[in-house]
Every structure is written in structure tokens, then in C-alpha cells.
């Protein structure tokens, strides 16, 4: 049963080609093809899940290339981590595609959208199933290009086109790290199979560097500081794309990669600590920006960066189960939030939360499901996010580093604050602008309800009530999860504090003391401007690169080609000089002849004098 796994990505791949080739003739049919393929993959993933009780199954499909004598094969590895990811991708993916039938209905490139989404699904599932780093890299770039094409889906908008390029090039910076990491492993004669990872011989330092380079790839994909700049811009794409690619699945691939090659990190504490630190920085930084953003999708985008940072933090602190658990729950409730946001945007035709308000009366299903998702993200008991966040707290507590624990707590507080702020501003209160908002059609609300159910109940499989069934499944250890009342109360208090502060700020209009003091203003402006990181990159990398290219082009034209042309000009000048001797007048030639003769005679004369 498990050995059917390689068929899972095949269905969407076929759907991609069908939609690409016959898209315009299929019309709405292209969506049905994509959804059907996705559902078939989901069904097969369930079968594989049921077939795989524990352990891992790996098998080769075909040889691919031989690198320095090491054969790299097209291989499949199915273990608990891969199965979890398969289920997340196919279930969330199917829901989002059903939603897209409504959301993208009427778009001129409807079939093209589903073609790209299908290609994305195929690449993402291939990425999950890859049994070695090179195969993973291949699909890794595949999802990257789908992301780029979908971000720039509405390419008529210059900002969308620019965002597509930025998404690809920024992640490519990280991917270069991943590529060099792969090359280091190959050059030191190591296998690229995940199953063979661990206990690598060779220089300790070099292996740590390889792990860090692989993490650089993960940072690019998972939009971790300092490579996070592309994700907020990527919100230019359709909201359903943001839900699927930039919230639930592709951006989680970085976390997946770290989890997949976890042994490499645990073997080298330096690498593991870096993962934790980068995760902590990203989590806090992005959460703080999310508090000041007014574009609903930007809030969710920064929230995604922050939550991915939390997962990295958990993994870096040794919380393997906690990190992967949060990856799973986050996929469901963040997809739900994005789809809910899409439903809202669909209704009010703006993304600015300052122009919304009181929408709960007009769109009840969207509002309730969105609030469920937001509370799950804020970590309110007993929703899914609560349990996974609780696991992360526990892992960090056991790890014992107070700074990392503090970062997680601060992130959690900020998360509760900004999500509550969003809810209050969109759904409660009074409308701030005139709208004719209405509830979205069933094809859109249906998936919202399904995802809301997951966001509510999914946490229990990792909770003490199920003896930590998820943790046992993912780690293969038999130890259960114990109820820790202190931690539960602590984290609930943190969430409630965040929600309460948002309530005071938004609903009551309470101003913090000293809000007007210039030093605070300065701080707020820095956060509002995303810490000026985009401007910094513009100044540090993009402008110098443009200048370098322009300078090289001038150099190429003036110096290098100039030298070539100079040789030609010189030759021509020499020829002109030579031509002057050829006057065509007999007397000139005669004169030269006589002169030559005279010189010759003098020479001979000199020789003769010398002899005698």
C-alpha cells in the first residue's frame, strides 16, 4: 500500500498538462479536473497513512545521475513526517482549490490559475516524498517557480509583477545556500539520502557549515529573517494562492526541510542554535510589524513569518514534535484565515481594515469561521493553536534558555494582540465605510467550515487527552504528553492579556500613557516601516548591483571592444602609411632604387676598407 505513494504527485501533474493544453476549451471544467486530481491525491495519501503504521518505507524508482561516483536516484521516502505533510498538503490544498472555484470565478485566466495550482501541488507533493536532498531541491525550485508565477498572476499590475520577481530572486539567494550545502555533502563523499543522515564523518566545522547552508535554503523558503522580505510583497497574488502557498504549504517547506534533515542539525549544536536564534528573531520581529499593519493580508503575512519563526525556534530548541505539530495546526488555521480574508475582500473590495467594521452582521459564516481561526492562532484553549503553542512553550522551557522562552512568550502575546485587533476592526463595532457586503457563495464558505472544524479539533490529537497521539506518531517514541496545568494557565493568561489590550485599544479607544512622546513615535515609525529592511537591501545590494552592471557594460563597450577596434584602426593606419610609398610615379621608384643602390655600395665599400 505504502509503495503507491509515488502516484500521489502524478494526479496533479496530469491535471497541470491537461489544463495547460486544453485550458481555454475546458472553461470551468479545468477547475473540476484540478480539484478531482487533488482529491485523488488526498485519498491516496489517506491510504498510505493507513498503510504506514510506524517506521519508514523508502524505495527507488529510477536512477537519475551519477555524481563523482555516487549514484543519485529518484527515490521515495514515506515516514510519519512525510505522511503528515502529505495529508496537510492534499487536504488543505483540496479545500483551497474548491474555494478557488468561487473566488477565481470570472477571472480571464481561470484555467491557467488551476494549471499553476496543479503544478504547484505536484511539486509540493514531490518535495515531501523525495528521499534525498537533490530530489528535494528539484521540487523545491519547482514550488518556487509556481509561487513566482502565481504571485505575478495578475501581472498587469506592476506591483504584482515586481513581487513575483522579488519572491523568486530572494528565495534563490537562500537556495544558493542549499545548493552549496548539497555540493559540500557530495564533495565530502556523503550520501544525499535523508535516511543516511547523521553521524557524518569529516570535519566537524565543515559539516556544521553544510547544515547552516541547508538552513539558509530553509530561511529563504520559510521567509525567515533576513530573507523574509519577499513574503509580504507576495500578497499581491490571489488570496487563495496566499492561503495555499504562502501560508499553509510552501513556506512551511523550510521547516519541513529542517525537520527532514534534523539529525544533521542535532549533530552540530552550532547549527541547531542558529535555527533557534533566527526563528526567535523572525517570530518577534514579524509579530511586531503585524501589530502596526493595516492591510489584512499584510497582517496575516507577517503573522505567517512569525509563526514559521516559532516553529524554527521550537525545532532549534530540540522540540521536534512541537515544531512539526505547530506546522500542521498552523497550516489549517492560517489557510482558514486567508480564505476568510479572501471572502471579506471579495465582499468589501478593500484590504484596509480601517475601512471595515461590523461585518459580522452581514457575513455570519465568514465571521464565525474567521474568529475561530484567529482564536486558534492566538492560542485560545481548546482550539488547535493552543495545544501546539503549548507544546512549543514546554519544549522551550525544558531547553532552559530564558531568552528563547521569553521570545516565544512575547510572540504569543503579540499574536493574540494583533489577531484580536483584526477581529475587532473587521467584524465588530460599526462599519467605517459604506459597503454592500454580502456573504460569499457556498463553494467558498463550505471550505471555510471544513477548515474551521480542523482548526477547532485538530489540536486534540497532540493534547494530553489523546496521550499525545501525534507526538508518538511523529517521533516513534511511546512516551505520552502530560497535563501541565501551570503552563496551560500561563499561556492562557498571555493570550488573554493580548486580547484584552487589543480590546482596550480598538473598542474602547484607550490610549497608552505617553503615546505622544517623540521617542515612542520614532519607534512606531520604524516598526511601521518594517524596520527599513527593504530600503536597506535596496541601498546595499540592488542599487550597487545595477551600478556594477551598468559600469561593466560601459567597460565592455569602451575598453574591451575599444581595444579590439583599436587593433583594427592601428592596422588600417599602418596600411595607409605603407600605401604612401606606392605613389605610382616612376621617378619616385627610380629615386628609391638609386638610393638603395647607393646605400648598398657604401656598405660594400665599408666592408672592403675593413678588409684592406
What's the longest Cα–Cα distance across the chain? 130
Task: Determine contact, residues 96/244, Cβ cutoff 8 Å.
Answer: yes
Nearest to 299 by CA among 419, 413, 431: 419
Residues listed for the chain: 612
Q: In whole angstroms, give the CA distance from residue 457 to residue 350.
A: 32
Please tell me the number of Cα atoms within 13 Å of 158 on its side-chain side: 0
Quick one: which of 25, 65, 478, 513 contacts another protein (CB under 8 A)?
65
In the DSSP assignment, the letter for residue 430 is -
Residue 490 touches another protein, criterion: CB under 8 A: no
Helix (H) or strand (E) holding 57: strand 57-67
The residue range among 60-68, 90-98, 332-340, 578-586 that interacts with another protein, by the rule CB under 8 A, is 60-68
Residue 201 touches another protein, criterion: CB under 8 A: no
Q: Closest separation between CB of residue 254 and another protein, Å? A: 17
Q: In whole angstroms, give the CA distance from residue 211 to residue 328.
A: 24
Site size with another protein, rule: CB under 8 A: 48
Using DSSP's 3-state secondary structure scheme, residue 41 falls into: helix
Q: Closest separation between CB of residue 552 and another protein, Å? A: 5
Quick one: which of 29, 51, 142, 429 contacts another protein (CB under 8 A)?
142
Quick one: which of 49, 99, 120, 168 contacts another protein (CB under 8 A)?
168
Quick one: which of 1, 50, 61, 169 contacts another protein (CB under 8 A)?
169
Q: What are the residues facing 59 on neighbouring strands?
A: 76
Using DSSP's 3-state secondary structure scheme, residue 529 falls into: coil
Is the CB of 186 or the CB of 195 nearer to another protein?
A: 186
Is the CB of 134 or the CB of 275 nearer to another protein?
A: 134
Task: Determine contact, residues 393/408, Cβ cutoff 8 Å.
Answer: yes
The residue range among 380-388, 426-434, 505-513, 560-568 that interacts with another protein, by the rule CB under 8 A, is 560-568
Residue 397 touches another protein, criterion: CB under 8 A: no
Quick one: which of 173, 263, 449, 453 contacts another protein (CB under 8 A)?
173
Binding mask 417-436 for another protein (x = CB under 8 A): --------------------
Task: Determine contact, residues 243/342, Cβ cutoff 8 Å.
Answer: yes
Residue 26 touches another protein, criterion: CB under 8 A: no
DSSP structure string for 61-121: EEEEEEETTEEEEEEEEE-HHHHHHHHHHHHHHHHHHHHHHHHSTT-TTHHHHHHHHHHHH
Residue 537 touches another protein, criterion: CB under 8 A: no
Residue 16 touches another protein, criterion: CB under 8 A: no
Q: What are phi and psi of 20, to 5 degrees?
A: -70, -40
The residue range among 169-177, 193-201, 255-263, 292-300 that interacts with another protein, by the rule CB under 8 A, is 169-177
Class of residue 130 by CB neighbours under 10 A (exposed 0-12, middle 13-18, buried 19+): buried
Residue 543 touches another protein, criterion: CB under 8 A: no
Quick one: which of 104, 152, 291, 317 contacts another protein (CB under 8 A)?
152
Q: Closest separation between CB of residue 162 and another protein, Å? A: 7
Quick one: which of 512, 550, 599, 600 contacts another protein (CB under 8 A)?
550
Binding site for another protein (CB under 8 A): 20, 63-68, 134, 137-142, 145, 148-149, 152, 155-156, 158, 161-162, 164-165, 168-169, 172-173, 176, 179-180, 183-184, 186-187, 545-546, 548-550, 552-553, 556, 560-561, 564, 568
Amino acid at each position: 500500500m505504502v509503495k503507491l505513494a509515488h502516484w500521489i504527485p502524478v494526479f496533479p501533474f496530469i491535471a497541470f498538462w491537461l489544463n495547460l493544453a486544453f485550458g481555454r476549451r475546458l472553461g470551468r471544467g479545468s477547475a473540476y479536473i484540478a480539484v478531482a486530481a487533488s482529491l485523488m491525491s488526498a485519498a491516496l495519501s489517506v491510504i498510505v497513512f493507513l498503510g504506514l503504521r510506524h517506521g519508514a518505507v523508502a524505495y527507488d524508482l529510477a536512477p537519475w545521475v551519477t555524481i563523482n561516483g555516487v549514484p543519485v536516484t529518484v527515490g521515495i521516502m514515506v515516514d510519519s513526517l512525510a505522511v503528515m505533510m502529505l495529508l496537510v498538503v492534499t487536504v488543505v490544498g483540496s479545500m483551497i482549490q474548491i474555494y478557488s472555484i468561487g473566488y477565481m470565478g470570472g477571472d480571464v485566466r481561470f484555467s491557467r490559475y488551476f494549471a499553476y495550482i496543479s503544478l504547484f501541488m505536484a511539486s509540493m507533493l514531490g518535495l515531501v516524498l523525495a528521499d534525498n536532498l537533490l530530489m528535494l531541491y528539484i521540487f523545491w525550485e519547482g514550488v518556487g517557480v509556481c509561487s513566482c508565477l502565481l504571485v505575478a498572476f495578475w501581472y498587469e499590475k506592476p506591483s504584482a509583477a515586481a513581487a513575483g520577481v522579488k519572491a523568486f530572486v530572494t528565495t534563490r539567494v537562500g537556495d544558493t545556500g542549499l545548493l552549496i550545502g548539497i555540493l559540500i555533502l557530495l564533495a565530502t563523499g556523503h550520501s544525499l539520502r535523508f535516511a543516511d543522515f547523521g553521524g557524518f564523518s569529516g570535519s566537524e566545522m565543515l559539516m556544521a557549515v553544510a547544515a547552516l547552508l541547508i538552513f539558509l535554503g530553509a530561511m529563504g523558503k520559510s521567509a525567515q529573517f533576513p530573507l523574509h522580505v519577499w513574503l509580504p510583497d507576495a500578497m499581491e497574488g490571489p488570496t487563495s494562492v496566499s492561503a495555499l502557498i504562502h501560508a499553509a504549504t510552501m513556506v512551511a517547506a523550510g521547516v519541513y526541510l529542517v525537520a527532514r534533515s534534523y539529525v544533521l542539525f542535532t549533530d552540530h549544536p552550532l547549527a541547531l542554535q542558529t535555527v533557534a536564534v533566527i526563528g526567535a528573531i523572525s517570530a518577534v520581529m514579524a509579530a511586531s510589524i503585524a501589530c502596526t499593519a493595516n492591510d489584512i493580508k499584510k497582517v496575516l503575512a507577517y503573522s505567517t513569518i512569525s509563526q514559521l519563526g516559532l516553529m524554527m525556534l521550537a525545532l532549534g530548541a530540540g522540540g521536534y514534535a512541537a515544531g512539526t505539530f505547530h506546522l500542521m495546526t498552523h497550516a489549517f488555521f492560517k489557510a482558514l484565515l486567508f480564505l476568510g480574508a479572501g471572502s471579506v475582500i471579495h465582499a468589501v473590495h478593500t484590504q484596509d481594515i480601517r475601512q471595515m467594521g461590523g461585518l459580522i452582521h452581514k457575513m455570519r459564516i465568514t465571521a464565525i469561521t474567521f474568529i475561530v481561526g484567529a482564536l486558534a492562532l492566538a492560542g485560545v484553549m481548546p482550539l488547535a493553536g493552543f495545544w501546539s503553542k503549548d507544546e512549543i512553550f514546554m519544549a522551550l522551557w525544558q531547553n532552559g534558555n530564558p531568552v528563547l522562552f521569553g521570545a516565544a512568550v512575547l510572540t504569543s502575546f503579540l499574536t493574540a494582540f494583533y489577531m484580536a485587533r483584526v477581529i475587532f476592526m473587521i467584524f465588530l463595532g460599526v462599519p467605517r465605510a459604506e459597503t454592500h457586503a454580502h456573504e460569499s457563495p457556498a463553494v467558498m464558505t463550505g471550505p471555510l467550515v471544513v477548515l474551521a472544524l480542523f482548526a477547532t479539533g485538530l489540536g486534540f490529537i497532540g493534547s494530553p487527552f489523546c496521550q499525545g497521539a501525534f507526538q508518538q506518531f511523529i517521533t516513534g517514541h511511546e512516551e505520552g504528553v502530560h497535563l501541565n496545568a501551570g503552563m496551560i494557565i500561563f499561556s492562557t493568561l498571555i493570550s488573554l492579556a493580548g486580547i484584552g489590550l487589543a480590546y482596550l485599544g480598538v473598542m474602547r479607544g484607550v490610549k497608552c500613557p505617553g503615546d505622544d512622546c517623540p521617542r515612542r513615535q520614532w519607534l512606531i515609525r520604524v516598526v511601521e516601516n518594517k524596520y527599513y529592511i527593504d530600503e536597506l537591501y535596496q541601498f546595499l545590494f540592488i542599487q550597487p548591483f545595477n551600478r556594477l552592471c551598468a559600469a561593466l557594460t560601459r567597460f565592455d563597450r569602451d575598453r574591451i571592444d575599444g581595444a579590439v577596434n583599436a587593433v583594427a584602426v592601428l592596422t588600417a593606419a599602418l596600411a595607409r602609411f605603407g600605401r604612401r610609398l606606392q605613389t605610382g610615379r616612376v621617378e619616385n621608384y627610380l629615386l628609391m632604387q638609386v638610393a638603395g643602390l647607393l646605400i648598398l655600395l657604401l656598405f660594400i665599400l665599408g666592408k672592403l676598407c675593413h678588409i684592406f
